[in-house]
Amino acid sequence: MVNGSRKTEIWPMKKTVLPDPLLKPRCHWPGIDPLYCAYHDEEWGVPERDSRALYEKLILDGFQAGLSWITILRKREHFRKAFNGFDPEVIARYNAEKVESLMADKGIVRNRGKIEAAIFSARAYLEIEGREGFSKYIWSFVDGVPRQNYFTASAEIPAQTQLSAALAKDLKQRGFKFCGPTIVYAFCQATGMVNDHLVSCFRHTECAQLAALI
């Protein structure tokens, strides 16, 4: 009581602290870039079975050669517009005029060899898709089942493997371009053919569970 009155004590309100998604235990490579983290959390390592999506990823990995993936990721939506939604049937018919148009497009990686490679690869894709299905062909290299790795440090993750060397060799024989063993291994990681999230990363278990559903 103060001066005959009851003293009312006012307690400070507790702040509601929302969990910061950037504090999740992740692989180191996305850093704190929101776009990169979203890609890591939602796409990378998820088993992809759609043929068209697999073709797009393989072509974009080819464009990545000599660059960082975040560079391609930031340009991905513009790539999709410039390359007609990565429709292989359309790309396979690109002519010299279209190539020059793409070479003038600042929204993509303007590399003539890589642009022409996308056209050659579209034609090779259509041949495989018509004969056996591109997705079925790609996944046959792991017998249809994602391989689970259990790396504890980034230094343990290889740049290429026997799997990527075999797939790269076969892709080249079928007419694909810009698909060396290192590019193809990045493709295998991204499309969930192998689970290369570190075991300390929250996505390792999640991607393994997705693989188990196949």
pLDDT tens for 64-106 read: 999 999 999 999 999 999 999 999 999 999 999 999 999 999 9
Please give the torsion angle defined by the CA atoms of residues 42, 47, 53 and 54, in that order, rounded to the nearest 10 degrees.
Answer: 130
- Kindly state the greatest CA–CA separation across the chain: 95
CB atoms near residue 131 (< 10 Å):
10
Over residues 119-143, the pLDDT tens digits come to: 999 999 999 999 999 999 999 999 9
| pLDDT level of residue 21 (50, 70, 90 thresholds) | low
Minimal CA–CA distance to 181: which of 172, 190, 194?
172
Residues 95, 102: Cα–Cα separation, whole Å: 11
Residues paired with 2 in a beta bridge: 5
Range name among 20-24, 116-120, 150-154, 203-207 with the lowest pLDDT average: 20-24
Q: What is the pLDDT of residue 28?
A: 94
Task: Look up the pTM and report it.
Answer: 0.88
Residue 126 lies in a domain: yes
Count: domains in the chain? 1
Q: Is the pLDDT of residue 212 over 90?
A: no
CATH number, domain at 99?
A: 1.10.340.30
Residue 11 lies in a domain: no
Look up the domain containing 113 and give its range. 48-212
Residue 66 lies in a domain: yes
